[in-house]
Amino acid sequence: MIRQPLGRHLSTTPPGERLDRNWRAIATKLRARRPSWRFAFVALAAVMICGAVLLPLSWRKSTRIEATVIETDADHTQTVVLAEGSRVVLGPSSRLLLVDVSTQHVRLELQRGAIDVDATHREGRTFSVGARQLDVDVVGTQFHVAVGDTPGDVEVSVSRGRVRVTSREDPSHPRFLGAGERWSTRALPPPPIASAAPSGQPVAHDAGAVHEAPPKPSLSPQVRKLIVAGRFVDAYGLVLPDFDDDCQTLGADDLFQLAEAARGAGHPRHAATAFDALRTRFRTDARAPLAALELGRLDLDDLDDPRAAKNALDDVVALQPDGFFREDADARRVQALEAMGDHTECVAARERYLAAYPHGSHRASVARRCR
- pLDDT for 332 equals 92
- pLDDT for 359 equals 81
Please give the C-alpha separations between residue 360 and each of 180, 330, 331, in angstroms, as whole numbers.
11, 11, 9
Please give the C-alpha separations between residue 202 and each of 243, 251, 270, in angstroms, as whole numbers.
18, 8, 20
* Ranges for all domains in the chain classified under CATH 2.60.120.1440: 7-187
Three-state DSSP at 357 gives coil
* Ranges for all domains in the chain classified under CATH 1.25.40.10: 221-367
- Beta strand extents in the chain (DSSP E only): 53-55, 65-71, 78-82, 87-90, 95-101, 105-112, 114-119, 126-131, 134-138, 141-147, 154-160, 162-167, 170-178, 182-184
Task: Split the chain (371 residues) into runs of 10 and give each run's mean pLDDT.
Answer: 39 52 61 49 45 47 61 86 78 87 84 87 80 80 80 79 78 72 62 39 44 57 83 91 91 89 92 95 87 92 94 92 82 94 95 89 88 86
- pLDDT for 79 equals 86
Judge contact between 325 and 290, C-beta under 8 A.
yes
Fold for 221-367, please state it.
1.25.40
Q: What is the pTM of this model?
A: 0.52
Q: What share of the chain is helix, strand, coil (3-state, %, to 5)?
A: 40, 25, 35
- pLDDT for 340 equals 95
- pLDDT for 28 equals 61
- Alpha helices by DSSP H, listed for 165-305, are 221-228, 232-239, 243-249, 252-264, 268-281, 288-301
Residue 161: what are its φ and ψ, rounded to 5°?
80, -150
For domain 7-187, the CATH architecture is: Sandwich (2.60)
- pLDDT for 22 equals 62
